[in-house]
Amino acid sequence: MTNNIGVNLRRFRKLKNYTQQELAVKAGISRVAYRNIETGDSEPRPFNLNALALALGISVFDLTEQVPKLESLRFRSHKSLTAREKAEREQISLEVATWLQDFNELEEMLDKRVPYQLRSIGKGESSPEQVAEEAREKLEIPCKKCIPDICELLEKAGVKIFLLKSKLNKFFGLSVGESDDGPAIAVNTDDAIPVERRIFTAAHELGHIILHGDSYVSDQIKENDEQEDEANRFAGYFLMPRESFKIIWEENRGLHWVDSVLHTKRRFRVSYKTVLKRLIDMGRTDNEIYKKFNNSYRLRYHKKLKYKEEPDLPEKKSEEPSRLDNADFMEDRLNRLVREAVEIDLISISRAAEILNISIMEMRNLIREWEMFV
């Protein structure tokens, strides 16, 4: 247990931006005593453990819980991260590992494991575009059809989806390989990240799982730019097949070119930058198109695009559905498993709340909502 306490202490201390001295003073213990606890050289007294938990604003259980570790984790590199960002990275990894462990236990308990369906593709020298086409065929997605619910699609294909909120800079998502009872994908659903970006992230991580399944490491120091580019290309063609794009783009020829981009992005549920990148790949334009789009959008709609913002056609000028929101990117399989396990008394309400990371009161309210319809 001592080692768990040390690892957890270090992570929470850095999340709070405390030095060892600052946390020791806040908890009312000496710096030497604190250092020995964090390094695992000494077993903390119950009083000191309570004082440290109180100083960090967490529970004693948070300090003593076993730290699960994923060996096949593909996360953004941590070479250029600050100490606080590295601690946030560790915390995210812990949350994903705990979630995946709970998910697998529920599947085993209910005998509802979903086999991974995409293991056989992407094994040759095929391009990311070809592999994306293979994946769509394997998942029986018609060539000309957009993907209406990528979370549901991937869950049916045996890929677990975890949604979390994080302010970690430039963190959009990660994936876990099969060797850790995956595959699984975690997507950052922070409010600052558009839904289109979340959808693309899920497809991007799927690209890594299929294309780079043998290169997963839990302590990645440097990102592989070539593999990142391949995963991006896979995602673009998985969400927006070449021939379908050509058809839609030609259908929009009579529109203002900015409206054509916006209409196309809505049809495929992708970002406007994904549409612009496709036009570049097809030789229709060059990299200056991003700047030209921002200028033209501002002139046409008298609105300047903010960083990370997704543009949209004003509602009065469009018969298209409203822009994407959180309801367009939701995971629900874990909730279904939890509900079934609760209803047949396989797990307690408190355990259900723990798995879903909500309070017992929230869990009781959720159960009441389940009971509204027979």
* Confidence band, pLDDT 50/70/90 cuts, at residue 222: low
C-alpha to C-alpha distance for 270 and 278, rounded to whole angstroms: 11
In tens, the pLDDT along 34-85 reads 888 888 878 888 888 888 988 888 888 888 877 778 888 888 765 677 887 8
Domain boundary among 42, 67, 92: 67
Whole-prediction pTM = 0.84
In our burial notation (b when 16+ CB lie closer than 10 A, e otherwise), range 251-272 reads ebeeeebbbbbbbbbbbbbbbb
Cα of 63 vs its chain's centroid, Å? 25
pLDDT at position 314: 62
Query: Does residue 288 lie in a domain region?
Result: no
14: nearest Cα among 38, 45, 48, 36: 38
Query: Which residue range(s) make up the domain with 217?
Result: 83-239
Query: Does residue 108 lie in a domain region?
Result: yes
Residue 155 · residue 114 · CB < 8 Å: yes
C-alpha to C-alpha distance for 146 and 137, rounded to whole angstroms: 13
| pLDDT above 70 for 219 | no
In tens, the pLDDT along 238-297 reads 999 999 999 999 998 888 999 999 999 988 999 999 999 999 999 999 999 999 999 999
Query: Does residue 60 lie in a domain region?
Result: yes
* 59 and 100 share one domain: no
Domain boundary among 67, 100, 120: 67
* 91 and 235 share one domain: yes
Q: Maximum CA pair distance of the chain?
A: 75
* 221 and 121 share one domain: yes
Query: Does residue 18 lie in a domain region?
Result: yes
pLDDT at position 79: 63
* 214 and 358 share one domain: no
Task: Say which amino acid occupies 358.
Answer: I
* 135 and 191 share one domain: yes
The residue with tokens 């018609």 is 142
* 62 and 169 share one domain: no
| pLDDT above 70 for 9 | yes
Percent of the chain with pLDDT over 90: 47
Query: Does residue 193 lie in a domain region?
Result: yes
Residue 71 · residue 62 · CB < 8 Å: no
- Give the H/E segment covering residue 162: strand 160-164
Domain boundary among 39, 67, 95: 67
Q: What average pLDDT is seen over the chain?
A: 87
Nearby residues of 355 by Cβ (< 8 Å), 6 or more positions away: 102, 106, 334, 338, 347
The domain that contains 17 carries what CATH number?
A: 1.10.260.40
| pLDDT above 70 for 319 | no
The total number of structural domains in the chain stands at 3
